[in-house]
Amino acid sequence: MYQSLKAVLMKAYGRGAVNVGDEGGFAPPLRKTKDALEAIRRSIKSAGYSQSDVRMGIDAASSTFYDGRNGVYRLDGKKLDSGRLEDFYASLRDEYGLLTIEDPFEEGSFNHFASITHRLGRSTKIIGDDIYVTNVPLIRKGIRLKATNAVLIKLNQIGSVTETVRAIDECARARWEAVVSHRSGETEDPFIAHLATAYGVSFIKAGAPARGERVAKYNELLRIGEELGARAKFAGKRFRR
């Protein structure tokens, strides 16, 4: 997949399109959101897979394009209120079969998160990152308001293993998904691979396999899988929640 996407981007945008950012992801000169999803869809097909084999998701990081002064989101050359932005995400979900949508609204918008979760949450995981920052009181608020159905868990965001485990346990009690995640500035320490396995989470977010600090997590998961043997479980196509 990685090499396939690299080839697709180089063909469309030139060699500069495969320069990588902090998390190992490519940084091509895309103009619109759909350009990225179309490139990934082409690369899935080029690699010999179908969209049922490889499911897509997005980290919208909506706080980065939210205009707080005017209360609108500036996206793809348009100014969208929360309702129109929700409609946009719904159209992306339908067109590209998105399995996950992370941070669809700016970090304080609990009610808007709840709206999209009510609308799309049966087939799509609405993941909260900036809205919760791995903080148990904020996660509890989200549970009370039914703001999301999944939480991004970042160990060094909250500060200790104990607090991280409390956040994961809070998600488990609510029957929400906990998504164990890396950070933008990473090391080659593979601990989060063990954390994700130990707590049986369905997702891990470790970045694109472009550099050692990202690959280290995936390699560790492979080692863990080899050690567990038949006891290892991978959701794969079976994941439909």
Q: Is residue 203 part of a domain?
A: no
What pLDDT sits at residue 240? 54
Of 11-15, 44-48, 90-94, give the lowest mean pLDDT range: 11-15
pLDDT the model gives residue 206 = 92
Catalytic residue among 23, 106, 107, 220: 23
Catalytic residue among 102, 106, 107, 154: 154
Q: With respect to residue 130, please indicate whether it lies within any of the assigned structural domains.
A: no
- Overall number of domains in the chain: 1
Range of the domain at 32: 1-50
User: What Cα–Cα distance (Å) separates residue 58 from each residue in 103, 115, 200?
Assistant: 9, 18, 22
Residue pair 164/155 in contact by the 8 Å Cβ criterion: yes
Is 154 part of the annotated catalytic residue set? yes
Which whole number is the average pLDDT over 126-142?
Answer: 97
Q: Is residue 74 part of a domain?
A: no
| Structure tokens that stand for 204 in this block | 């891990």
Contact between 239 and 200 under an 8 Å Cβ cutoff? The reply is no
Is 16 within the bounds of a domain?
Answer: yes
**What's the pLDDT at 78?**
96
* pLDDT tens digit sequence for 78-94: 999 999 999 999 999 99
Please indicate whether residue 64 or residue 13 has the higher confidence score (pLDDT): 64
Higher pLDDT, 18 or 165: 165
Q: Which residues does 46 contact at the CB level (< 8 Å), separation at least 6?
A: 4, 7, 8
> Which has the higher per-residue pLDDT, 69 or 235?
69
Residue 125, pLDDT > 70, answer yes
Does residue 187 form part of some domain? no
Tell whether the model's pLDDT for residue 138 goes beyond 90.
yes
Residue 144 counted as domain residue:
no
Residue 241: the pLDDT is 46
Chain center to CA of 25:
13
Q: Is 181 helix (H, G, I), strand (E, B) or coil?
A: strand
| Mean pLDDT score, 209-237 | 88
pLDDT for 169 beyond 90: yes
State the CB neighbour count (10 A cutoff) for residue 25: 15
In the numeric block, the tokens 């196509």 are attached to 237
Of 71, 130, 69, 125, which Cα lies nearest the Cα of 103? Answer: 130
Per DSSP, 23 falls in state T
Q: Could you read off the pLDDT of 173-209 as tens digits, one per residue?
A: 999 999 999 988 788 999 999 999 999 998 899 988 8
Q: d(Cα 80, Cα 137) in Å, to the nearest integer?
A: 30
Specify if 3 maps to a domain.
yes
DSSP for residue 176: P
Query: Is 23 noted as a catalytic residue in this protein?
Result: yes
Q: Residue 163's pLDDT is what? A: 96
Inside any domain, residue 1: yes
